[in-house]
Amino acid sequence: IKAIRKAIGHQGMIVTPGIRLPHGETHDQKRVGEPAQALADGADYLVIGRALTEHEHPERVLEELGFALGV
């Protein structure tokens, strides 16, 4: 993310897939990242797919996400 942000500056949006909460499963993703780090590195939008949609309690994932981001 940092390299992309450096290359494009703030001229474009960076959409970052593969976002997982700390200690979350990686599923079949080879590269995953945590939300706070992705935003700190320059991501504009986070894609949180299976970590949320396949969780038994998705509302808990949203709570953890808010906690991880300090909101």
Instruction: Report how far residue 33's alpha carbon sits from residue 26's, in angstroms, rounded to the nearest whole number.
Output: 9
Say if residue 37 carries a ligand binding annotation: no
Structure-token pair, residue 10: 């703030």
Say if residue 49 carries a ligand binding annotation: yes
Say if residue 29 carries a ligand binding annotation: yes
Say if residue 20 carries a ligand binding annotation: yes
Instruction: Report how far residue 44's alpha carbon sits from residue 42's, in angstroms, rounded to the nearest whole number.
Output: 6
Structure-token pair, residue 23: 């200690």
Q: Are 42 and 4 in contact (CB under 8 A)?
A: yes
Residue ranges for the known binding site for substrate are: 20, 29, 49-50
Residue ranges for the known binding site are: 20, 29, 49-50
